[in-house]
Amino acid sequence: MKVSIAQFKSELGNVDENFSTAARLIEAAQGSDVILLPELWSTGYYPTPVETFADIDGVKTKEFLCAAAKRFSVNIIGGSVIVESGGKIFNRCHVVNRRGQIVAAYDKTHLFSFAGEDKVFNAGDKIATVELDGVRCGVAICYDLRFPEFIRKIALAGAEIIFIPAAWSLKRLTPRQILTKARAIENQAFVVFANSSGKSEVVNPCGEVIAESERGEELLTAQINLDERTEVIATMNLLADRNLSVD
206, pLDDT greater than 80: yes
For residue range 9-32, what is the model confidence (pLDDT) as tens digits? 999 999 999 999 999 999 999 999
247, pLDDT greater than 80: no
Q: Tell me what pLDDT residue 246 has.
A: 82
Integer Cα distance of 101 and 216 in angstroms: 31
Domain contains 95: yes
Is residue 241 within 8 Å of 235, Cβ to Cβ? no
Domain contains 214: yes
Whole-model pTM over 0.85: yes
Which residues are known to be catalytic?
39, 108, 142
Domain contains 245: no
For residue range 75-88, what is the model confidence (pLDDT) as tens digits? 999 999 999 999 99
Q: Tell me what pLDDT residue 181 has.
A: 98
For residue range 153-201, what is the model confidence (pLDDT) as tens digits? 999 999 999 999 999 999 999 999 999 999 999 999 999 999 999 999 9
Domain contains 183: yes
Average pLDDT over residues 34-59: 98
User: Mean pLDDT over all residues of the chain?
Assistant: 97
DSSP annotation string for 116-139: THHHH-PPP---EEEEETTEEEEE
Domain contains 15: yes
Domain contains 120: yes
> How many domains does the chain contain in total?
1
Domain contains 132: yes
Integer Cα distance of 87 and 84 in angstroms: 6
CATH number of the domain that residue 9 is part of:
3.60.110.10
Domain contains 211: yes
For residue range 52-69, what is the model confidence (pLDDT) as tens digits? 999 999 999 999 999 999
Its domain, for residue 56, covers 2-235
For residue range 112-157, what is the model confidence (pLDDT) as tens digits? 999 999 999 999 999 999 999 999 999 999 999 999 999 999 999 9
